[in-house]
Amino acid sequence: MSAEDDENFLRSCFVSTGALNDLRSMWSPKCIVVGRTGSGKSALLLSLQEEEENVIKIDPESLSLNYISNSTIIQFFDSLGIDLNVFYQLLWRHVLAVELIKMKKQLNDEATSKSWIATLRQKLMGNPKKQKAINYLFEYGDSFWADTEERVREVVTKIEKGFEDQIGINIEAFKTKLTADMKDKNLESIQQTTEIVSKAQRVVNGVQLQELNAVMDLLSEDVFDDDQERFYIVIDDLDTGWVHDSIRFKLIRALIETIKKFKKVPNLKIVISLRADLLESVLSHTTSAGFQQEKYEDMYLRLRWSESQLKELSDKRISLLFKQQYTNSSASFYDIFSKKVGDTDAFSYMFERTLQRPRDVIAFVNQCLEDAAGQTSITHRTIRQAEDAYSQNRLRSLADEWREAYGDLEGVLECLSAVDPRFSAKDLTQEIMENACLTLMCDESDENGYGVFRKQCDLILSSQSTWDEMRKKVFEVLYSVGALGLKTRDGAPYAWSFQNQPTLQYNKVTDETTFAIHPMLFKALGKYTDPRRLI
């Protein structure tokens, strides 16, 4: 069910939705693939790597950016509120520029690198601006042949030294002095500290953006100057633990801004993938004054799947499975599945019980195949039977998918078993929420310790919040993760986060608002209502 482990089926069963064409096109601004877990982001990037010749895949873990979070100097100045965004952009630009030059010019050893650099310097002898750009690249380390980790260390060490040189004292001694001064409330010394912090900010601001822009011109005009060649950098797995959480959002924000700057190079494209919830977290945690999100909207390629596209995906995968294991003739979904479940088309029945993404469909079909072992076909009874295990697994997967953002969700999802499949806000009573809180407070396995709901329970216990606030939080989060949909008035369709607005504006919830539990969770929560009017 994950693209990186699906090489056999992925290559033969790829379904074209137009997204790959957007990524390959140098004219299209789409370069940040945004989607939920299991929506096909990794599959899309893997296909791009297979379709194009000149692709650099950068594994975030190989960058060793934890070196930054482990730097006591960087950590210290970050804790003092110094804006390090320009420094993070410098780091990304340097790493990406060097990786591109290495690939384009095949600079894999010291001798080749020095020869190319000398030739380039000679060529640009009469261009002071580009000479500065070359000097700037080597100011932060001239080891083009070294691995990426070493170059990251070179850049960070350079900034650290700049901090100490500008301040004129040892950072560790300064930290000890500041701690003592804050404890003694020594105002004169604290004022001196403020001046030192101001100097440190100047070190960051001193990153020469003009030279950075000159590097872009150098790449465009003197390195990637062949219009017939296209080059790509692909970065996936930014949602994994490649760097400490304390700086991850800031580094991703800086990467997004850096990608925008590299658009000056016409035959180069940097493509990254981000979970939809991770992008929302990055923007909410790092947005500064004057930030305009709409300026970045053109860069987002939001993955959405129709029922017909997911049906095509199922047909292709079933056909390949049967060719490999049973027969050389093709088989499609309806060759082995019952055409109806009750009065509903069988695939539509299964589609309604997904969050409209490939992983859910693959999981449901696989469960049906497992439960139908030894049978000649998959009947409507088998589909309903498979739905039991599928629904339980999807509930757990949904909680796992959003655990990083919200903490433990299973206890909160289970509280939906106490309401009808369609219900109003007031039906989520205080008693139901108290039971959810008891489950959360008694859960000693919660590795995140304090997710949003456990924090909310603590606030209620200490009289710092109310059950109304808890109810609001439940609806906002469960709507965002896709467990709940809502319609604001009779006759209106249900809105879902994976189809419509990704977040819930709770101030628009009224007595007329109806919430609905997603049919994917029906069996796990003991619900048996016909969902045809929900999705």
Q: Can you list the positions of beta strands (E) in 398-445?
A: 422-423
End-to-end CA distance of the chain: 23
pLDDT at 145: 56
Q: Rounded to whole angstroms, how far apart are CA atoms 195 and 177?
A: 14
For the segment 131-142, what is each residue's pLDDT rounded down to a tens digit?
877 776 666 555
Q: Which of 33-47, 343-357, 375-389, 442-456 has the lowest mean pLDDT?
A: 442-456
Q: Are 47 and 271 in contact (CB under 8 A)?
A: no
Residue appearing with tokens 């456990």: 454
Residue appearing with tokens 């906002």: 476
Q: Are 3 and 313 in contact (CB under 8 A)?
A: no
Token pair for 383: 């589909």
For the segment 148-198, what is each residue's pLDDT rounded down to a tens digit?
677 677 777 777 777 777 766 666 676 666 666 555 555 555 555 666 667
What residues does 423 pair with on adjacent strands? 515
pLDDT at 167: 66
In single-letter form, the type of residue at position 250 comes to K
Q: Give burial (CB, 10 Å; 0-12/13-18/19+) of 424.
A: middle
Q: Are 231 and 26 in contact (CB under 8 A)?
A: no
pLDDT at 398: 93
Strand pairing report for 32-35 and 340-341: unpaired
Chain mean pLDDT for the chain: 83
**Confidence category of residue 504, pLDDT binned at 50, 70, 90:** confident
Q: Which of 42-51, 121-130, 207-216 has the lowest mean pLDDT?
A: 207-216
Q: Are 181 and 193 in contact (CB under 8 A)?
A: yes
Q: Rounded to whole angstroms, how far apart are CA atoms 530 and 75?
A: 54
Instruction: Name the helix (H) or strand (E) containing 428.
Output: none
pLDDT at 462: 92
**Residues 85-109 as b or e (16 or more Cβ within 10 Å = b):** bbbbbbbbbbbbbbbbbbebbebee
Higher-confidence residue of 296 and 379: namely: 379
Q: Are 457 and 441 in contact (CB under 8 A)?
A: yes
Q: Taking residues 412-432, what's their average pLDDT?
A: 94
For the segment 221-244, what is each residue's pLDDT rounded down to a tens digit?
888 877 788 999 999 988 877 787
Q: Rounded to whole angstroms, how far apart are CA atoms 69 and 78?
A: 10
pLDDT at 95: 82
Q: Taking residues 433-447, what's their average pLDDT?
A: 78
Q: Rounded to whole angstroms, how far apart are CA atoms 146 and 142?
A: 9
Q: Are 136 and 211 in contact (CB under 8 A)?
A: yes
Q: Rounded to whole angstroms, how far apart are CA atoms 223 and 265?
A: 10
% residues pLDDT > 90 (the chain) = 38
Token pair for 407: 């903490």
pLDDT at 279: 85
Provide the H-helix boundaries in 262-340: 276-286, 294-297, 307-325, 333-336
Q: Taking residues 504-510, what's their average pLDDT?
A: 87
Higher-confidence residue of 394 and 8: namely: 394
Q: Rounded to whole angstroms, how far apart are CA atoms 383 and 379?
A: 6
- Kindly report the CA angle at 361 between 476 and 278, in degrees rounded to 5? 40
Q: Are 92 and 255 in contact (CB under 8 A)?
A: yes
What residues does 5 pair with on adjacent strands? none
* Region of residue 103 (left: phi > 0; alpha: psi -120 to 50; beta: else): alpha
Token pair for 261: 């700057």
Q: Rounded to whole angstroms, how far apart are CA atoms 294 and 291?
A: 9
In single-letter form, the type of residue at position 293 comes to Q
Q: Rounded to whole angstroms, how far apart are CA atoms 361 and 242?
A: 29
For the segment 51-99, what is each residue's pLDDT rounded down to a tens digit?
999 998 988 887 777 777 777 777 777 777 777 888 888 888 888 888 8
Instruction: Give just the sign of the alpha carbon dihedral 442, 445, 446, 450.
Output: positive
pLDDT at 459: 92
pLDDT at 184: 56
Q: Rounded to whole angstroms, how far apart are CA atoms 394 and 355?
A: 10
Q: Rounded to whole angstroms, how far apart are CA atoms 134 and 128?
A: 10
Q: 229: helix, coil or strand?
A: coil
**Residues 516-525 as b or e (16 or more Cβ within 10 Å = b):** bbbbbbbbbb
List the chain domain ranges: 18-302, 307-401, 412-525
pLDDT at 110: 74
